[in-house]
């Protein structure tokens, strides 16, 4: 290296060092505090935006000098999670209050992103109204509470009565075994070859929808499970896993579900809610308790006749074994960022957003299942849509995802397995073996249980 060049490099390194050390953050002034609220908003999901706008008004009126800064992220669930995680990585960009999917709570607690709320909740009277089972959704591995549920959901079979009746199937319909589903679907196909009789999502494009609204309803209705809670290990090599894949294969091979190409389109659910069910081109689909929110007045796919035409059934277990049905529950929570400079204020805001008035409005607007006993007893809630009672009953047979930090990888591996089966790339047996291998690679043999 020439002398001048060497000097230049030295100069540059010094400058870079100076530049980086000069970037230390400024402390906010105490008198005008700002709370940063990060949440999800999409063109078909604005209930939360409304909730926070109302809460901001109430809160700022009651707390002079504090500004609430709403930062909606416009993205689908997957991308929202990614953007939120990126914001949480550094204390500078971390929000004070955040909207958090229940299945990310544990891993974000592990990461040290969320504030422990126990001491705040003790002093918060409303906490007593929360359903005990649902409180678990916001609990970390240490048993402390880190997030407060906004609502919960269940999943069942949503069927179009007219399509079933055309095929000579009596409504209300309640299949008791997997075979009864196939029988009914074949009848519908025979009566009208142009309809999609019974759709269940599959493939990576539908993401968490593929597991929550399809595969787990099957797997949790067999004698096998995804995760052994006692051993804290992931189950591989189970018969139930292969059976569940085989059921999906039958559904797709016999053209009882949408075509594989349609299933691999990330927007397939929009067609289900917006076109196929309302137009009587689909017999049934496994979907969530929030379905009416798309069809009711002001929803993305308004459909006046949904209350008349649609019905809800429990998803049956494989051979009708106990408890006779399967549902999956997820739901979202609000949490306080661990790096919040004003944690007390942040929790105050969370409490304002989740008070009875705001909770009720949000629960009704987004067709959630109430998690507060006082909201659940409200006539407005019970009359929100004709199916509130049906979907609330499913809570008795519901399961929650094993929300460990490595869960997203497991979920992705399941999605890959379903995709391989419906596209005919692998047989159910091969896809299950590939899943087992993937799981072993991803989480290590120590966390795997051969059944």
Residues that bind another protein (CB under 8 A): 3-5, 7-8, 11-12, 15-16, 19, 78, 82, 85-86, 88-89, 104, 107-108, 110-113, 203-205, 260-261, 264, 266, 405-406, 408-409, 412, 416, 419-420, 423, 425, 434, 437, 441
Give, in order, the Cα–Cα distances in Å from 40 to each of 43, 48, 97, 134, 290.
10, 7, 12, 21, 16
Least spacing, CB of residue 227 vs another protein, in Å: 16
Q: How far from 437 is each of 243, 292, 445, CA to CA, in Å?
A: 18, 40, 10
Instruction: Give me the residue label for tokens 């929202």.
Output: 80
Handedness of CA 212, 214, 220, 226 (dihedral sign): negative
C-alpha distances in angstroms, 434 versus 38, 219, 336? 38, 17, 39
Query: Closest CB to another protein among 110 and 308?
Result: 110
Helical H segments across 254-404, by residue range:
260-263, 268-271, 292-295, 306-309, 343-353, 356-365, 373-376, 379-382, 388-393
Residue 128 DSSP label? G
- CA gyration radius for the chain? 24
Give me the least distance between CB of 7 and another protein, in Å please: 6
Min. distance of Cβ 87 from another protein in angstroms?
10
Backbone φ and ψ for 231, nearest 5 degrees, come out as -80, -15
What strand order describes the sheet that includes 448-450?
227-228, 233-236, 448-450
**Least distance (Å) between residue 308 CB and another protein:** 30
Q: Which is nearer to another protein, 67 or 259 (CB)?
A: 259
Question: In the complex, what is the shortest distance from the CB of residue 204 to another protein, in angstroms, rounded to a whole number?
Answer: 6
Q: Give the nearer residue to another protein in terms of CB position, either 217 or 419.
A: 419
Q: What is the DSSP string of 382-416?
A: HTSSTTHHHHHHGGGGEEE----TTHHHHHHHHHH
Q: Which is nearer to another protein, 101 or 287 (CB)?
A: 101
Closer CB to another protein, residue 3 or residue 297?
3
Cβ distance to another protein smaller for residue 163 or 205: 205
Give per-residue burial for 328-347: e unless 16+ CB within 10 Å, then b. bbbbbbbbbbbbbebbebbb
CA neighbor of 153 nearest in space, from 324, 439, 371, 320: 371
Minimum distance from CB of 264 to another protein (Å)? 5
Q: Which is nearer to another protein, 5 or 29 (CB)?
A: 5
Q: Shortest distance, CB of residue 19 to another protein, whole angstroms? A: 7
Residue with token string 């009953």: 393
Work out how close the CB of 157 gets to another protein at its nearest, in angstroms, rounded to a whole number. 27
3-class DSSP string for 300-316:
CCCCCCHHHHEEEECEC
CB of 104 to another protein, least distance (A): 7
Q: Which CB, 137 or 164, lies closer to another protein?
A: 137
- Smallest distance, another protein to C-beta of residue 408, A: 6
- Residue with token string 């009914």: 184
Neighbouring-strand partners of residue 66: 33
Closest contact distance (angstroms) between CB of 405 and another protein is 4
Residue with Cβ nearer another protein (34 or 427): 427
Q: Which of 328, 330, 333, 331 is nearest to 138 (CA)?
A: 333
Write down the number of H helices and E strands in the chain. Answer: 22, 14
Nearest CB to another protein, comparing residues 4 and 65 = 4
| Smaller CB separation from another protein, 208 or 390 | 208
DSSP structural state of residue 65: T
């Amino acid at each position: 290296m020439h002398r001048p060049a060497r000097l230049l490099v030295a100069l540059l390194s010094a400058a870079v060092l100076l530049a980086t050390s000069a970037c230390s953050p400024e402390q906010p002034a105490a008198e005008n505090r700002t709370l940063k609220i990060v949440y999800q908003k999409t063109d078909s999901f604005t209930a939360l935006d409304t909730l926070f706008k109302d809460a901001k008004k109430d809160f700022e009126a009651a707390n002079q000098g504090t500004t609430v800064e709403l930062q909606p992220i416009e993205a689908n669930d997957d991308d929202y999670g990614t953007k939120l995680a990126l914001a949480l990585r550094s204390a500078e960009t971390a929000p004070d209050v955040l909207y958090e999917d229940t299945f990310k709570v544990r891993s974000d607690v592990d990461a040290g992103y969320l504030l422990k709320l126990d001491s705040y909740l003790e002093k918060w009277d409303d906490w007593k109204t929360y359903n005990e089972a649902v409180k678990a959704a916001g609990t970390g591995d240490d048993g402390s509470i880190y997030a407060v549920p906004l609502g919960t959901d269940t999943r069942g079979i949503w069927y179009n009565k007219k399509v079933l009746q055309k095929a000579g199937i009596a409504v209300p319909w309640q299949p008791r075994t997997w075979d009864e589903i196939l029988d009914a679907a074949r009848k519908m196909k025979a009566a009208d070859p142009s309809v999609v009789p019974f759709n269940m999502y599959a493939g990576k494009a539908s993401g968490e929808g593929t597991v929550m609204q399809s595969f787990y309803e099957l797997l949790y209705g067999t004698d096998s499970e995804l995760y052994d809670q006692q051993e804290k290990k992931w189950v591989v090599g189970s018969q139930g896993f292969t059976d569940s894949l085989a059921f999906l294969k039958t559904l797709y091979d016999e053209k009882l579900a949408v075509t594989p190409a349609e299933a691999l389109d990330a927007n397939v659910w929009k067609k289900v809610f917006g076109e196929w069910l309302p137009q009587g081109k689909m017999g049934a689909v496994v979907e969530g308790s929030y379905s009416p929110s798309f069809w009711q007045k002001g929803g993305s796919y308004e459909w006046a006749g949904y209350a008349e035409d649609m019905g809800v059934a429990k998803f049956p277990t494989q051979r009708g074994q106990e408890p006779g049905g399967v549902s999956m529950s997820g739901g979202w929570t609000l949490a306080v960022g661990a790096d919040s400079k004003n944690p007390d204020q942040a929790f105050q805001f969370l409490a304002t957003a989740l008070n009875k008035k705001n909770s009720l409005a949000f629960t009704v607007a987004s067709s959630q299942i109430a998690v507060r006993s006082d909201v659940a007893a409200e006539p407005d809630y019970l009359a929100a849509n004709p199916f509130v009672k049906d979907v609330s009953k499913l809570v008795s047979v519901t399961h929650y995802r094993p929300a460990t930090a490595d869960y997203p990888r497991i979920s992705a591996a399941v999605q890959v397995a379903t995709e391989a089966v419906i596209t005919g790339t692998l047989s159910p047996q091969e896809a299950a073996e590939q899943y087992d291998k993937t799981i072993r690679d991803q989480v290590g043999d120590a966390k795997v249980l051969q059944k």
